[in-house]
Structure 1
Amino acid sequence: MGGEITAHEIARRAGVGIGTFYRRVGTLEALLKAVLGEVLGEIVAKGEEGLANPDPWAGFTTFALSYIHLRNELCDVNKRLGDVLDHSRAELRDRIQLLVERAQQAGMMRTDVTWEDVAFLMVAASSAGPYTLGLHAGARQWDRNLHVILDGLRSPDPSALPGEPPSLAP
C-alpha cells in the first residue's frame, strides 16, 4: 500500500463505506493483524515446502525467493502494528534455522554463516530502494540482490567472515 494505512483508504479500495468497514472488520488493527498472520503463515508454509524438497540447496533457495517476495508484502502492515505476532515469527525463525542447517549439513552452504546471518542477508536483499547514488533499480533488483547473496552462501571455498554473527534480541 505504501505510506500510512488508514481504514478510510481500505474501505475506499474495497468499495464500501467506512461504517460498513467497521461493522465487518471491527478495527483496523484487527484487519492488519489478520493479514500479517496470514502472510506469516504463508512464509512458514514455504519453509515447510523447502524442508520437504529432497535437495537441501534447492529447498533453501526456493524458500529464500518466496520469503523475500512475501516479506515485502508485510512491510507496511508490520510497521503499523509493531511486533504483535511473536509466535509466528518464532515459527519462521525455526524454519530458517532448519533450512540453513540442512543445507550446511549437506555441504551445500558455507558453515561459518549462522541462520541469524541468513535472516539479515535475506532482509538486505529485499530492502533495495528504487534509487541509489543516482542509479535506478530494475523491477527485479531484489531478485538480483538475492542471487548474489545466495552465490556468496554456497559452498565450497568461501572467504573468512569478519566480526560476530547476529543474535536474538533480549
Structure 2
Amino acid sequence: MELHMHSHHWEHRLPNWPAAAVAGFAAGAVLMVLELFWSTMVTDVSPWTTSRMVAAIVLGPDTMQASDFSVGVVAVAMATHYVLGIVLGLILAAIIAPFHFDSSIGMVLLTGAVFGLVVYLFNFYGMARFFSWFDDMRGWSTLVAHLIFGMSAAIIYWKLERPIKE
C-alpha cells in the first residue's frame, strides 16, 4: 500500500447527505446500546440516569431529580440523542468527503476516531459548562464510547456513500 502525500487535499466534493444522516443515526444507536450496557452491567447504575441527563438538555435540570422510569423523559432523551447523532454524522461526512478521508478503511476509521475524540472533548469539557451534570460522566469509558461512535459513524458512512457528482 502506497501513501500519496497529496491524496488528502481539499476538493469540492459533496458528501452523500442521506448516507451521512443514516450513519449518524446508526452510530447514535451503537453509542446508546454501549451506554445502556455499561451502566447496567459494569457500573450497576440505573440506565435511566443517562436518559434523564440527556433529556435535561431539552427539559431542564429539574428532569434529573426524578429517580424512576418515565416514558416521556426517555422519549425526549432518545429524540435528542438521535438528532445529535444525525447532526454529527452530517458534520463528519462534511469532513470526510472533500478531503478524501474515505480513501481507505484505515483512513476512514482514523478520521472517525479523531472525530469521536473531538466530540467527547466538546461535549464533556465545552458543553459541560452549560450542562454541568455531564461533568460526572467524564472518563475513559465515555471517551472510548465516543471513539466507537466516531468510528462507527465513519465506517457506516463509508459503506453507504456513493459520491455525488456535480
Higher helix proportion (structure 1 or 2): 2
Higher gyration radius (CA): 1
Structure number with greater CO (CA < 8 Å, separation at least 6) is 2
